[in-house]
Amino acid sequence: MERLETELAGGTVELAFLRCLYQMELERVKYILQSYFRTRISKIERYCYHLRGMARDELIRLLSKSEIDHAKKYRELTDQALKESVLDHLPPQLRLLPHQDGDLAEQLPAPDLASHVVARFERPVAELLLDPITQAVEQNVEPGDLYILQYGVVKDLLANGTISLV
């Protein structure tokens, strides 16, 4: 309150209002960015074992160097904690980590490619597969069109810049 009174004393009411508005907008943008990075790091940690199995060039395309380093370090620390707290107390034949055992590796979390995303088309597409199960197809998709589609359907279109996620 004192800050507002100081600003009012140094300028007009409109100027103080504009300063307050700019400050609120900066706080909003800061909150959105923090939320985005928290979510991104959370997903990197959740799928760190899935990322391990990806090709190096695809990984570089999807993540920054610091994110790749974080995933690797997180995976190492998680493995070490699991080993020290549980696996060291089991018989030797049961000491494999889930990602080291072929049967258990399938149970590790992987991204859900069937989840839906909102996609904006940046370039025209002559034929778009809407649903892989029913084989439904959309003809002549124009730039600017918005669709809700399964991520697995548009994954390649996103990689080559034909679409952007909203």
Indicate whether 110 belongs to any domain.
no
- Are residues 7 and 40 both part of a single domain? yes
Query: Is the pTM above the cut of 0.75?
Result: no
Percent of the chain predicted with pLDDT > 90:
26
Q: Is residue 23's pLDDT more than 90? A: yes
Indicate whether 111 belongs to any domain.
no
Domain count, the chain: 3
What would the two tokens of residue 17 be? 């209002």
Q: Is residue 42's pLDDT more than 60? A: yes
Please give the residue range of the domain that contains residue 122: 116-165
Summarize pLDDT for 84-130 with one digit per residue, the tens. 888 888 887 777 766 665 555 566 777 887 888 898 999 888 888 77
- Are residues 147 and 136 both part of a single domain? yes
Indicate whether 35 belongs to any domain.
yes
Q: Is residue 5's pLDDT more than 70? A: no
Cβ-based neighbours of 75, under 8 Å, separated by 6 or more: 48, 49, 52
The reported pLDDT for the residue numbered 104 is 57
Indicate whether 122 belongs to any domain.
yes
Q: Pick the last residue of a domain from 105, 134, 150.
A: 105
30-39, 61-70, 154-163 — which one is most confidently predicted on average? 30-39
Indicate whether 127 belongs to any domain.
yes
CA–CA separation, 95 and 84 (whole Å): 11
- Are residues 66 and 30 both part of a single domain? no
